Amino acid sequence: MQNPALFHVLLDYLESINAPPMEIERFVDRWHRLRSHESFPCPACFLMGEEQPLLPVSAQGNVEPLVCPTCRTQYNVPIDD
Ligand SMILES: [Zn+2]
């Protein structure tokens, strides 16, 4: 699987906003079908039926944030050391 740390953060996000389990499953399916050249999709926009690519922003402390340019949600991925 691609980027398991980010995947975990995005799933936590979907759970934190009480996304319906069906939608979470749909997102997981989508993730597993991601090709290496595709950007990671924003889960918030995905719930709205849109696919928006997450953009990495510069690391802050021990997190590597990704931001959705459309809904401006930020996802903080902890950096492993
Ligand atoms: Zn978004």
- pLDDT digit string (tens) for the chain, length 81 residues: 778 999 999 999 999 999 999 999 999 999 999 998 999 999 999 999 999 999 999 988 999 999 999 999 999 999 876
Burial of 47 per CB tally in 10 Å (0-12, 13-18, 19+): middle
CA of 63 to the centre of ligand 1 (A): 19
The single residue listed with the structure tokens 């990495």 is 56
pTM over 0.85: yes
- Would you give the end-to-end CA distance of the chain in angstroms? 20
Is 65 exposed, middle or buried (CB count within 10 Å of its CB: 0-12, 13-18, 19+)? Answer: middle
Q: Which residues surround ligand 1, an ion (CB under 5 A)?
A: 42, 44-45, 52, 68, 70-71
Q: Sign of torsion, CA 27 30 35 41?
A: negative
For ligand 1, the distance from its centroid to the CA atom of residue 13, given in whole angstroms, is 12
Instruction: Provide the residue range defining the domain that includes 32.
Output: 4-78
Domain count, the chain: 1
